[in-house]
Amino acid sequence: MECLVNGANFLLKTVQQEAFTYTDGRKEFVQIDHNDLFPYLLVNIGSGVSMIKVDGDRKFERVSGTSVGGGTFWGMGRLLTKCKSFDELLELSHQGNNRVVDMLVGDIYGGLDYSKIGLASTAIASSFGKAISEDKELEEYKPEDVTRSLLRMISNNIGQISYLNALRYGLKRIFFGGFFIRGHTYTMDTISVAVNFWSKGEARAMFLSHEGFLGALGAFTGYEKHDLEADQSVQRCSAKPSCIDGKLCGTLSSHLNEDENMECRICTS
């Protein structure tokens, strides 16, 4: 978890175009003032979801989480469809319509909004709820619609819990990371809508461009702090990541002995 936070802090301080909002299909980069970065809520959507209040470099607390995350989408998707891979599921969800599977507010109230309590007829009243009233088997639903509904349910739930935690700790900014997001527009859109809806427009979800690599980057940037006892031939090691022309580059140098030096350079494409 420390690596994850290190990685997020490093990216937010180093890469100019790292954080962005995603609204109505529009990506807008957010300029982060390095002197006013903390505190923020980091939501990492991997297999499960961790919500971390970050107060500074190496100052953080995991305040919440949910087991309904990326592994849920992948696992349930595999059981409900014949898809073998995450990418296949994601691709299918592009073409689906969740309204075929989800019970909407309008399905309950004769096609009308429930304006008195602020719910539009198109709002989801119950994810997968339509399946209880229709006499249909799983095979009669299109896998596209099922995956779409699943993705929406999970992303919506994460957006909602994230906002409630930001509210609970008085945090103005919520950054979303983790390999589940993968720059997928529908996922980001759903999370953004959920944060917007629950905050009544007060808060906005922000996404990280290098969302899937926070832990790895944090481990890399923290490398020099560890003793390399396992390999005595490597005596000193230092990692120097930087951002050049929008590309993340890292150099890992190892001083093997007085005369020998080894350097490994990694750049994002």
Ligand X SMILES: Nc1ncnc2c1ncn2[C@@H]1O[C@H](COP(=O)(O)OP(=O)(O)O)[C@@H](O)[C@H]1O
165 binds ligand PAZ (CB under 6 A): no
Nearest Cα residue to 166 out of 22, 12, 1, 39: 39
Question: Which one of 70, 143, 159, 218 is in contact with ligand X (CB under 6 A)?
Answer: 70
What is the distance between the alpha carbons of residues 249 and 230, in angstroms, rounded to a whole number? 26
Phi, psi of 206, deg, nearest 5: -120, 140
In the region spanning residues 156 to 185, those forming contacts with ligand X, defined by CB under 6 A, are: 178-180, 182
47 binds ligand PAZ (CB under 6 A): yes
Side by side, which strands form the sheet with 19-23? 26-29, 19-23, 205-208, 174-177, 40-45, 49-56, 59-66
Is residue 54 within 8 A of residue 38, CB to CB? The reply is yes
| Letter string b/e over residues 172-184, b meaning 16 or more CB atoms within 10 A of that residue's CB | ebbbbbbbbbeee
Q: How far is the CB of 180 from ligand X (least distance, A)?
A: 4
46 binds ligand PAZ (CB under 6 A): yes
Q: Which does 65 bind (CB under 5 to 8 A by kind): ligand X, ligand PAZ, none?
A: ligand PAZ
**Residue found by looking up tokens 């990685």 in the block:** 7
User: Which residue lies nearer to ligand X by CB, 69 or 241?
Assistant: 69
Q: x/- contact string, 53-92, with ligand PAZ (CB under 6 A)?
A: ------------xxx-------------------------
Q: Which does 131 bind (CB under 5 to 8 A by kind): ligand X, ligand PAZ, none?
A: none
48 binds ligand PAZ (CB under 6 A): yes
Q: Which does 73 bind (CB under 5 to 8 A by kind): ligand X, ligand PAZ, none?
A: ligand X
Which amino acid, one-letter code, is at 159?
A: G
